[in-house]
């Protein structure tokens, strides 16, 4: 039986390079009981990361957020063309931002990134979040 972790492929490394520099890094918090101090870490490719911040974990979060941004982009354009035609682009984005945060699908920082990504995709004004 081989106990070694699989190596990262060149394709995976290329995927990790897609993550924009402005994408938030959200570490997951946790605790381990006991009298001695402990530190939660995740090992990836011989390096240690706070949980939620290793390259595969960040890529997964970014991929989810990018997908949400693309979906919200379509919804914002549909809304502006129909039932929210009377609203400004900023007001529409603010409404979708509030709804996104209520879902608990993303952290607050990721939610702000998603909405600002939406504004970039559809060339609407960026919100000051």
Is 116 in contact with 97 (CB distance < 8 Å)? Answer: no
pLDDT at 12: 66
Phi-psi region of 60 (alpha: psi -120 to 50; beta: other; left: phi over 0): alpha
Flag whether 4 is in a domain: no
**Number of structural domains the chain divides into:** 1
Flag whether 66 is in a domain: yes
pTM above 0.85, yes or no: no
| Chain segment 110-127, per-residue pLDDT in tens | 999 999 999 999 999 999
Which phi and psi (to 5°) does residue 24 adopt? -65, 145
Domain limits for position 70: 10-121
**Residue 9: pLDDT above 70?**
no
Task: Spell out a b/e string for 60-76, using b for 16 or more CB atoms within 10 Å of the CB, else e.
Answer: ebbeebbebbeebbeeb
pLDDT at 70: 98
| Chain segment 26-78, per-residue pLDDT in tens | 877 777 788 887 788 889 999 999 888 999 999 999 999 999 999 999 999 99
């Amino acid at each position: 039986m081989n106990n070694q972790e699989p190596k990262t492929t060149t394709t995976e490394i290329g995927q990790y390079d897609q993550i924009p520099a402005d994408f938030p890094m959200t570490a997951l918090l946790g605790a381990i009981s006991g009298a001695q101090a402990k530190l939660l870490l995740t090992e990836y490719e011989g390096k240690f990361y706070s949980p939620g911040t290793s390259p595969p974990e960040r890529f997964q979060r970014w991929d989810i957020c990018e997908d949400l941004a693309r979906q919200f982009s379509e919804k914002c354009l549909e809304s502006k063309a129909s039932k929210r035609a009377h609203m400004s682009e900023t007001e529409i984005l603010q409404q979708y931002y509030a709804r996104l945060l209520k879902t608990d699908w993303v952290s607050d920082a990721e939610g702000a990134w998603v909405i600002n990504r939406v504004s970039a995709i559809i060339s609407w004004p960026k919100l000051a979040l």
